[in-house]
Amino acid sequence: MPRYALQVEYHGAPFAGWQRQADQPSVQGAIEDALAKLEPRAHTIAAAGRTDAGVHGLGQIAHCDMEKDWDPFRLSEALNFQLKPAPVAILNCARVSDEWHARFSATERRYLFRILMRRAPATHQAGLVWQVKHDLDVAAIQEGADRLIGNHDFTTFRSTICQAASPQKTLDALDVERFDTMGGPEIHFHVRARSFLHNQVRSFVGTLERVGAGAWSPDDVSAALNARNRAACGPVCPPQGLYLAEVTYPEAPFAQ
């Protein structure tokens, strides 16, 4: 059966997350339903990461196995037609080897988190950012973020329902920058690692927001990390500002 890599963009608000669920809408379910309209049978796709309810995808990668030898462009066009009106789009499609796997072949995942700083309610950005009503100190946030870089036991920043075999992970980058936009000032967190624990990025951002607000110091971030205790984590931020931005592979499946 020919295997195809899919680059997927989606707005997470209407979905209970990426993973297919029996009684709630999911991104995986929407794509599998669309595939079933093209080839009537049960379809199961795999993804680079399982995003939670409300989390968005800019560059999620999945793969599917088809019976027909589809032209990749025609497959993406057909899927986009069948996905309407769900806020899910197939940005790219490519034929890959039978051994290629969206999850296990990936070498790095990149997440973006957006915080909007303004008192007026968000309108155009609603559901796409975490809104806070106070200004945040970006330099202090970056200093706290730097304490998390490297290989650590991230138990403190791991959900209690995380199914990963070990809390030991290597965080490659956590870069913070401020943007002054027409809608108000935003802070963007750019996070890179080979893999992540459940709720790890949202735990980082929620904790670092406290540093930016002056309630925590960067030293408090180090102390929380070293505690290896979930109770030492700061507040876990909401999912609306989180995006799975990019997934990288030894050979880019969509290279022209």
Residue 235 lies in a domain: yes
Higher pLDDT, 177 or 163: 177
Could you list the residue range(s) of the whole structural domain that residue 40 is in?
Answer: 3-105
With beta carbons less than 8 A apart as the criterion, state whether 103 and 110 touch: no
Query: Is 26 contained in some domain?
Result: yes
For residue 252, tell me if it sits in a domain. Answer: no
77 with 127, same domain: the answer is no
- For residue 255, is it within any domain? no
Buried b (16+ CB within 10 A) or exposed e, 89-118: bbebbbbbeeebbbbebbeebbbbbbbbbb
Number of domains present in the structure of the chain:
2
- Both 121 and 51 in one domain: the answer is no
39 shares its domain with 163: no
138 φ, ψ (degrees, to nearest 5): -65, -40
Instruction: Indicate if 101 and 126 belong to the same structural domain.
Output: no
Q: Are residues 38 and 136 in the same domain?
A: no
Strands 150-153 and 108-117: unpaired
Q: Kindly report the pTM of this predicted structure.
A: 0.96
Is position 177 within any domain?
Answer: yes
Are 185 and 202 contained in the same domain? yes
Give the model confidence (pLDDT) of 56-85 as tens digits. 999 999 999 999 999 999 999 999 999 999
140 and 234 co-located in one domain: yes
Task: Look up 52 and say whether it is catalytic.
Answer: yes
Catalytic residue among 23, 33, 52, 65: 52
pLDDT at res. 255:
75
DSSP state of 226: H
| φ/ψ (deg, to 5) at 93 | -140, 140
Show which of 105, 130, 151 is a domain's final residue.
105
Summary mean pLDDT of the chain: 97
What confidence tens digit (pLDDT) does each residue in 214-243 have? 999 999 999 999 999 999 999 999 999 999
Final residue belonging to a domain, choices 105, 136, 171: 105
For residue 151, the one-letter residue type is N
Q: Is the dihedral of CA 218, 240, 203, 193 positive or negative?
A: negative
Q: Is residue 57 part of a domain?
A: yes
Any domain includes 20: yes
Radius of gyration of the chain (CA): 19
Within its chain, how far is the Cα of 101 from the centroid?
A: 18
Percentage of the chain beyond pLDDT 70 is 100
Look at residue 121 and tell me if it is in a domain.
yes
What's the whole-number mean pLDDT along residues 40-58?
Answer: 97
Last residue of some domain: 61, 81, 105? 105
Q: Does the pLDDT at position 2 exceed 90? A: yes
Could you tell me if 70 and 120 lie in one domain? no
Residues 176 and 217 grouped into a single domain: yes
CATH, residue 201: 3.30.70.660
> Is the pLDDT assigned to residue 256 strictly greater than 70?
no
Model pLDDT, residue 74:
98
User: CATH number, domain at 38?
Assistant: 3.30.70.580
- Using one digit for the tens of pLDDT, what is the confidence trace for 91-117? 999 999 999 999 999 999 999 999 999
Q: Provide the sign of the torsion angle of the four alpha carbons 56, 60, 65, 69, taken in this order.
A: positive
239 and 124 in a common domain: yes
Residue 103 CA to residue 98 CA, distance in Å, equals: 14
One domain, residues 121 and 99:
no
Same domain, 238 and 115: yes
Percentages helix, strand, coil for the chain (3-state, rounded to 5) are 25, 30, 45
- Residues 4/94, Cβ–Cβ less than 8 Å: yes
